[in-house]
Amino acid sequence: MDTTGKVKKGFGGRKGGGPKAKSVSKSIKAGLQFPVGRITRFLKKGRYAQRLGGGAPVYMAAVLEYLAAEVLELAGNAARDNKKTRIIPRHLLLAIRN
């Protein structure tokens, strides 16, 4: 028994020697479907700026997800107006143009 009062640290500096915790993606933390990590990588790779804030890729992923949802909803409405159950490129065109 360790009587020195020190707490042993596990792998990665965590207290306790239990198993490693399951990783949680940035997209799940932000509650998004779009990949925050991939957008971060693209922004860094594209050299749009020397430095990149932590919230910028999350915000961009949220905006892209919102725009995609809006376009898909309008395209779905256009498909339903044409009595179709599947969205085709024409429906996307009608959604964007109107």
For the stretch 17-62, pLDDT in tens is 678 889 999 999 999 999 999 999 999 999 999 999 999 999 999 9
Write the DSSP assignment of 17-56 as a string of letters.
Answer: S-PPPPP--HHHHHT-SS-HHHHHHHHHHTTSSS---SSH
Residue pair 94/72 in contact by the 8 Å Cβ criterion: no
Compute the distance between CA of residue 31 and CA of residue 22 in angstroms, rounded to an integer.
17
Q: Does the structure show a pLDDT above 60 at 82? A: yes
Q: Which residues contact 36 (CB under 8 A, 6 or more apart)?
A: 25, 26, 27, 30, 57, 58, 61
CATH of 26-97, one of 1.10.20.10, 2.30.110.10, 1.10.240.10, 2.60.120.650: 1.10.20.10
